[in-house]
């Protein structure tokens, strides 16, 4: 077995990458990603790290701690560039939107190729069949630095992302945690429907905080515990199911059945799943009071869908 790699994560923890350490029924020979104690977390198709030839598939990306996927893919881009590899293609059964976004942090690829990359994701994933989308990823690795005990800064062509307490805040992409230009520096803001509802902290171009970033999201206490009426829950559930990809719809319907939608403290997420309910960030309820009713359903669906889709994928994987 080849020597492994130790990779530091944005929150300061480390993971270990162990080449050619296991076998997988779909992926074949595998490298193993392990935590600091050597406990295996996930497996990826074996890579020739001296001269990478493809972007490998990962078996359970949801099992990795925040930033681990980015760290592994950035190592791949770094090793490929050092070996003079002009471009790599993904080879595996999971060419998803999430993977495409993660790859863009370490490879140059036009946004216009996203649809071509993800075209076969549903059929390939549920059949356990490897595909190789005709999309070339040019190695363009980033660099991480830790200008503060709680902050990791990601640089490539200037500051691209901040990790605060292990959570990513992005200039581009989707999600509520955004990084916006603020004078000569940057501001981390929590956004709902493109509206900033909280400022988490301000930073210079190196990622150094001007003041201590918030460690918890402000929550409008008066709205905590407010529950959507059953009729409204049914409408939201129907819209979430209709907007999901077909193979996930049954699992999503099962998750939404008999689980009320309650406004509360969802941390730095728009929504979280609990054993008996879904918790929507209470700031969403505050926003709904200010926007036209026609927009309310779209805001609720957009907030709930990522959380429900992840839970449905995990349920299918366990099955």
List, for residues 221-251, the tens digit of each pLDDT value: 999 999 999 999 999 999 999 988 777 888 8
Q: Are residues 209 and 248 in the same domain?
A: no
The residue segments making up the domain with residue 10 are: 5-139
Pairing of strands 278-281, 261-264: parallel
Q: Are residues 25 and 127 in the same domain?
A: yes
How far is 18 from 297, CA to CA, in rounded Å? 46
Which residue in 166, 268, 162, 265 sits closest to 221, CA to CA?
265
How far is 137 from 101, CA to CA, in rounded Å? 12
Q: Are residues 124 and 152 in the same domain?
A: no
Among residues of the chain, what percentage have pLDDT more than 90? 71
Tell me which of 142 and 4 has the higher pLDDT: 142
Q: Are residues 106 and 11 in the same domain?
A: yes
Q: Helices 249-256 and 293-318, interaxial angle, to 10°?
A: 110
Q: Are residues 18 and 126 in the same domain?
A: yes
Q: What is the pLDDT of residue 127?
A: 59
Final residue before a domain boundary, out of 139, 163, 178? 139
Tell me which of 204 and 123 has the higher pLDDT: 204
Pairing of strands 177-182, 55-56: unpaired
Q: What is the pLDDT of residue 24?
A: 82
Q: Are residues 129 and 23 in the same domain?
A: yes
For the segment 291-310, the average pLDDT, to the nearest whole number, is 90
Q: Are residues 211 and 237 in the same domain?
A: no
Q: Are residues 135 and 148 in the same domain?
A: no
Q: Are residues 273 and 201 in the same domain?
A: no
Q: Both tokens of residue 164?
A: 């605060």
């Amino acid at each position: 077995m080849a020597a492994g790699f130790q990779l530091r994560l944005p929150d300061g923890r480390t993971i270990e990458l162990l080449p050619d350490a296991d076998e997988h029924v779909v992926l074949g020979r595998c490298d193993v990603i392990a935590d600091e104690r050597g406990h295996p977390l996930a497996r990826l198709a074996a890579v020739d790290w001296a001269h990478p030839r493809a972007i490998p598939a990962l078996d359970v990306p949801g099992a990795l701690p925040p930033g681990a996927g980015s760290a592994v893919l950035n190592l791949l881009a770094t090793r490929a560039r050092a070996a003079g590899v002009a471009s790599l293609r993904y080879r595996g059964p999971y060419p998803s939107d999430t993977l495409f976004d993660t790859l863009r942090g370490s490879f140059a690829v036009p946004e216009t190729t996203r649809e071509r990359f993800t075209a076969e994701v549903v059929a390939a994933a549920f059949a356990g069949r490897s595909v190789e989308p005709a999309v070339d990823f040019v190695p363009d690795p980033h660099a991480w630095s830790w200008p503060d005990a709680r902050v990791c800064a990601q640089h490539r062509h200037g500051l691209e992302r901040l990790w605060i307490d292990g959570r990513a805040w992005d200039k581009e992409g989707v999600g509520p945690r955004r990084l916006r230009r603020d004078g000569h520096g940057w501001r981390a803001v929590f956004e709902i429907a493109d509206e900033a509802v909280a400022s988490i902290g301000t930073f210079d171009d190196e990622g150094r905080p001007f003041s201590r970033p918030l460690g918890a999201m402000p929550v409008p206490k008066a709205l905590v515990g407010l529950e959507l009426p059953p009729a409204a829950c049914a409408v939201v559930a129907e819209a979430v199911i209709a907007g999901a990809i077909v193979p996930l719809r049954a699992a999503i319907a099962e998750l939404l059945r008999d689980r009320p939608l309650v406004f509360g403290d969802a941390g730095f997420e728009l929504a979280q799943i609990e054993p008996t309910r879904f918790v929507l960030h209470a700031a969403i309820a505050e926003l709904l009071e200010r926007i036209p009713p026609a927009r309310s359903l779209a805001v609720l669906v957009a907030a709930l869908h990522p959380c429900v889709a992840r839970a449905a994928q995990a349920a299918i994987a366990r099955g």
